[in-house]
Structure 1
Amino acid sequence: MTVRLIGTASTLFLARLLTPADFGLVAVAMSVVGLCQASTEFGFDLALIRDSNASEADYATAWTADLLRGTILAVLLLLVAKPLATFLNDTRLVALLSTLSVIPILEGLYNPRFVDFDKRMQFRPFFILMVAVKIIGFMVTVGLALAWRSYWALIFGIIVSNVARLLLSYVLIPYRPRFTLSSWRKLMGFSGWLAGAQLMGAMGSRLDNVILKKLLTAHGVGIFSVSRDLTSMAFQEITLPLRRVLFPALSRLTTASDAFRHAYFVGVSALFMILAPIGLGLALVARDAVPILLGGQWQDAVYPIQWFSLMAGFWAITAMAQSAAMSAGQTRMIFRRNLLYFPIRITIFILGADYYGLMGAVVCSLIADVFLGILNLTMMNRILGTTVLQHVRAFERSLGALLAMALCVATVQRLIPAGTDLITHGFRLAAATGVGLLVYPAVHLLLWRVSGRPAGAEQRIIDLLARRRNNKLTSAQ
C-alpha cells in the first residue's frame, strides 16, 4: 500500500508539472528499452527460487548471464537509436535512448542472491527495497521537474531509481559476484520456454506506445500510457508482493494436490476481491477525479481511464495464472499461450489505432485482455483439472458486492448535480468514494456470512488482521 501511494503521488505531481506530450515521448523511449529487456528475459531468478538446492555456481551463472545480456542490450539501444528516431519522425529519441541504454547494464548487475529472501518467505527486505527506491525516485524526479519542467526529469528519475535499487540489493544481502556460465544448461532447463514466453508477451504489450507514436502523436501516446499506468499501478503494486509469496509457496506443493488448487483459488479470489473494486471505483469517479488529480490538460484521459479500470479483474486472473503455471513447471504452456496471444493482440491493436485513433487503441487493447483472460482460464483448467464454473464461484461474493457498490455510487452521483468547477468535482468525488468504501466491504462481509463463512480469502484476511491486532496488543503490554 505504501509503495502504491508513493507511485501514485509521483505520477499525480508530475502530471501537473509536465505535459501529456512529455509523458508520451518518455513512454515511447521506455517502451523500446522495456521491449529489449523483456524479450530477452531469461527468468533465472524464478529458476533459482524454484530450486531449493541452488549452488553458488547457479547464482554466479545467473549474474554473469544477466550482465552479458545487459551489456549487449545497451550496445543495441545505441545502434538503433538513430534509425528508430528517423522511423518515428522524432530526433529527440536519439538522446533519450542513448541515455537510457545504461539501464540494462544496471539491471544486469543486480544481486542474484536477493531471491534468497523469497525462498525463505522473508518479504520485509523486498518491502524496504521497493519503498526506498520509490521515495528516492520520487524526490529526484519531482525535484528535477520543478527545476527543468522537461521530460528529462523523468529520464534521470528512472536512472537514479535503478541505481538505488542496484545498490540496496547488495546492502540488504551482501554478495561477491564472479564470472562463470558453468550452470547455463541447468538454468535454461527451466527458463528456456519461459524466455520464449517473455518474448511473445513483451512484443504483445511493449509495442503499444511505439505503434501509437507512429500512428498518432506524442500527446496521444502520453494520454494512453498515463491512463494505463495509473489504472495498472494498483495491479502491479498489489500483485507483485502477492506473487512473490505465492510462487515459492506453490512450488513446494504437488500440482495435482487439493492443497495446490486451494492455495490457487484463495490467491486469485483475494486478488480479485481487492483489485476489482479499485478498478470499478476508479471507472465510476474518473469524470470527477481527472480534473482534480491530473488537471485540465488531461481531460482526454477520462474515457481511457474508465475503460482500462474495468479490466482489473482480468488482470488478477492473469497474474495468478502466470505464477501457478510457473510453480507447476508448465513454462512450455505459457509459451504456447503467448504465441497464440501475441499476433492477435498486435493485429487488432494496430487496426483499432489506425481506424479509430486513441479510443480505438484503448478498446482493442481491452478486447485483447479479455482474450488473454480466457486463455488463462483454459490453461489453469488444464493444469489443475478445474472448470470455468469453479473460477466464477471463486468470485461470486465479490461480484455481488461490486454490483451493490456500483448501484449505490451511481445513485449518489445522480443526486449531486454535475459541474465544471473543482469544488463540485471534489464534492462528488468525496461522496462517491465514501459510499463505495462503505458499501463494498459491508456487502462482501454480509455475503460471506450468508454463505456460511467458507474458508476462503475473507477468512485469510480476517485472520491476518486479527494477528496484527494481537501483535500490537502484545507489543503495547
Structure 2
Amino acid sequence: MTIAPGTPDHSTTLTRGAATLFASGVFSQFLGVLTLVVTARLLTPTDFGIIAYFIIAAAFLEIVQRAVSMILIRQPEITDDHLNTVFTMQVLLGIFSALLIWASAPLMTFFGLAELTSLIPPLCFIAIATSIKSTRFPLLERDLRFGFIAGEETTSRIAYTLMAISLTWIWRDYWAIVVASVITQVIRVIWSFSVAPMRPRLTLRCWHDCIDVSSWSLGAQITQFLINNMPQIVIGSMLGLADAGIFRVGYRLVVLFTSQIIGPLERVVYPSLANTSRTQGSSREAFERANAILLGIIVPASVGMALVANHLIVVVAGYQWLAAAQVIWVLAPLKAIETLQANVRSASYVEGSTKRLFLRNTILLIATTALTVLGSNYGFTGAILGSGAASLFAIGLALIMAKDFGTGGFLAPILMAWRTFASTFAMLLAVLFVSSAYGSGDAVGWAYETAEDLPLLRIRFSVKVLVGVFVYVGTHLLLWRLAGKPKGFESLALELAAKLKRKLSKAA
C-alpha cells in the first residue's frame, strides 16, 4: 500500500501549523517554568547537576530515534515496508543504546561522576521505550497535520509537570524528575499509536532507502545535540555537579526562550520546506521568510530576558540560584541569533546535503569542546565565556551555510530582519532608561537579599517587561509602515491576529 502525501494550500497550512505548534510551545514553556519554580526551591544544585546529565542522556536517545524516522518525511512515496523497516531500525538502535548505557558504569566512575551510575536502569528503559513509537506518527508531520504533534507535546508536558512537581514535593530528591521522565516517555508511545495506529512487523526490506539518508542525518543530529549540551557535560566533569546544577538552571531559562520555542516551529519549517520543494521545486523564499519569523520572535525575547536576568532568577528559582544570572547575560542574546541554525538544518535535510551538515557540526563540536574546556580552567565564569565564544563561532558557520539556501550574501539573514534588530535595540535603551530611574544597581539591590524585598522586585520586573514589550512592538510596526508594509514577520503576525479575532468573534 502506498501512502500519498497530501497537497493542501502551502501558505495557509504553514501559517496554521506555525500558530498551532507555537501556541503549544508557549504553553509547554509556561509549564516548564512552573516546574522549575517549584523544583528549584526543593532540590539542591547537586540534585540539578545529576538531573542535567539524566535529561541530556534521555533527550539524546529521543534525538537519535527521531533522526531515523526523519527519512519518512523526505521520502517521495511511503510503503508499509518503509514503515516496518524504520520501526525495525528503531528497535535495533534502542537495544544497542540500552546495552551501551549498561556498559558505561566504569566510564562514569573514571570521570568522577560515580553518582550517575544509579541512573543506568531508568535510562535503559527509556532507550527501549523511545524505540517502539509508531512510525506512522511522522507521516502526520509530513502531511503538515500539526495538531496531532501539538497534542502529543501538550499532553506529555502536562503529565510531566504534574508528576515532577508532586513527586518532588513528596521525595525532595532528584528521583522525582527521573520517574516523571520515564512515565512521560510511556505516554508518548501510547499517544503515537493512538493517533497513528499500526501493526508493526520486523523487517529490513527497505534498509537501503533508509540508510542512504539516515546515516548522515543521524550523524548530523548526534553532533548537533552534543554541541548544545557539551558545555553542561564539561562543567560537570571539570567543576563538579553543583556548578553543573547552577549552569543547568541558567541555561534552562535560556533555552526556554530560544531552542525550546523554535523546536515546535522547526517541526513546521522542515516538512513545509520539503513540501514546497516537492510541489514547487524551490524552497528559497520559504527559507528566507522562516528566518525572519524566527528572529522576530526569539531575538527580543532573549535580549529582554538578559535585561531582567537577576530579577528572573530570583522570582523563578530563588536567591540561592543568583549565580545562574551570568549564564543568561552571556548566552541568551547569542543563542537567539544562533537559532538561524534551525532553518539551515531544515534546508539541508530537504536538499539531502546531510553529509555537509554533519561535517559542519563536527567542526563546531570540536570548537565548542575546546573553548568550554579552556574556559573551565578559569572557573565557572570562564566556562560561560567559553560557551559564549563557541556560540559566536556557530553563528558564523550558520551564516556561511545560509548563503547556499537564500538569495543574499553572508549577512543576508540578519539584514533581512533589520527591523527586528532595530526594534530590539530601541527596547534595550528603553529598559535601561527605566532601570536608571531606580538609581544605581547597589542602591536598588539588584540581588535582593531578603524575602521582604520580593514584592518590590516583582513590581520592577513587571514594569521592565511591559515597557520592553510596548517599545518593541510599537517600534516594529512603525518601521514596517515607514518601509511600505512589506511582506514579512509583521504581516504574518497581523494575519494570525486577524484570524484569531475572527475565530473568537464566531465563538462568541
Q: TM-score, normalised by structure 1?
A: 0.94
The CA distance in 1 between the partners of 2:121 and 2:232, in whole Å, is 18
Aligned to 1:73: 97
Shift in CA distance, 129/202, structure 1 to aligned 2, threshold 3 Å: closer
Equivalent pairs counted in the alignment come to: 473
Residue 313 in 1 paired to residue 345 in 2?
no
Shift of 1:468: 2.1
Q: What does residue range 97-136 of structure 1 map to in structure 2 within 5 Å?
A: 97-136=120-159
The CA distance in 2 between the partners of 1:174 and 1:254, in whole Å, is 28
Aligned to 2:43: 18
The CA distance in 2 between the partners of 1:292 and 1:234, in whole Å, is 16
Aligned to 1:465: 497
Residue 422 in 1 paired to residue 461 in 2?
no
Shift of 1:207: 3.5
Residue 396 in 1 paired to residue 418 in 2?
yes
The CA distance in 2 between the partners of 1:174 and 1:302, in whole Å, is 45
Secondary structure, in 3 states, of the residue corresponding to 2:416? helix
Higher mean displacement: 270-279 or 325-334: 325-334
Within the candidate set 435, 445, 453, 2:477 is matched to 445
Deviation readout 1:187-240 (Å, 9 max, x if unpaired): 122222222223333343334333222211211000112211211023234212
Shift of 1:41: 5.1
| Contact 1:24–1:219 under 8 Å retained in 2 | yes
Shift of 1:307: 1.4
Cα RMSD for the two superposed structures: 2.0
Within the candidate set 110, 113, 119, 1:96 is matched to 119
| Contact 1:325–1:334 under 8 Å retained in 2 | yes
The CA distance in 2 between the partners of 1:312 and 1:389, in whole Å, is 17
Shift of 1:470: 1.7
Shift in CA distance, 60/312, structure 1 to aligned 2, threshold 3 Å: same
The CA distance in 2 between the partners of 1:346 and 1:413, in whole Å, is 37
Shift of 1:33: 4.8
| Contact 2:57–2:123 under 8 Å retained in 1 | no
The CA distance in 2 between the partners of 1:12 and 1:155, in whole Å, is 17
Deviation readout 1:235-257 (Å, 9 max, x if unpaired): 234212222222122113349x8
The CA distance in 1 between the partners of 2:170 and 2:125, in whole Å, is 24
Within the candidate set 361, 366, 378, 1:356 is matched to 378
Residue 162 in 1 paired to residue 185 in 2?
yes
Residue 244 in 1 paired to residue 267 in 2?
yes
Q: TM-score, normalised by structure 2?
A: 0.89
Deviation readout 1:122-144 (Å, 9 max, x if unpaired): 11111111111011011111111
2:328 aligned partner, one-letter code: I
Shift of 1:343: 1.4
The CA distance in 1 between the partners of 2:199 and 2:236, in whole Å, is 43
Aligned to 1:210: 233
The CA distance in 1 between the partners of 2:434 and 2:59, in whole Å, is 42
| Contact 2:99–2:124 under 8 Å retained in 1 | yes
The CA distance in 1 between the partners of 2:269 and 2:56, in whole Å, is 28
| Contact 2:285–2:406 under 8 Å retained in 1 | no
Residue 5 in 1 paired to residue 30 in 2?
yes
Deviation readout 1:403-437 (Å, 9 max, x if unpaired): 11001101111112413221232121111011011
Shift in CA distance, 141/132, structure 1 to aligned 2, threshold 3 Å: same
Q: What does residue range 179-258 of structure 1 map to in structure 2 within 5 Å?
A: 179-254=202-277
Shift of 1:86: 1.6
Query: How many percent of aligned residue pairs carry the same amino acid?
Result: 28
The CA distance in 1 between the partners of 2:127 and 2:186, in whole Å, is 11
Shift of 1:70: 0.8
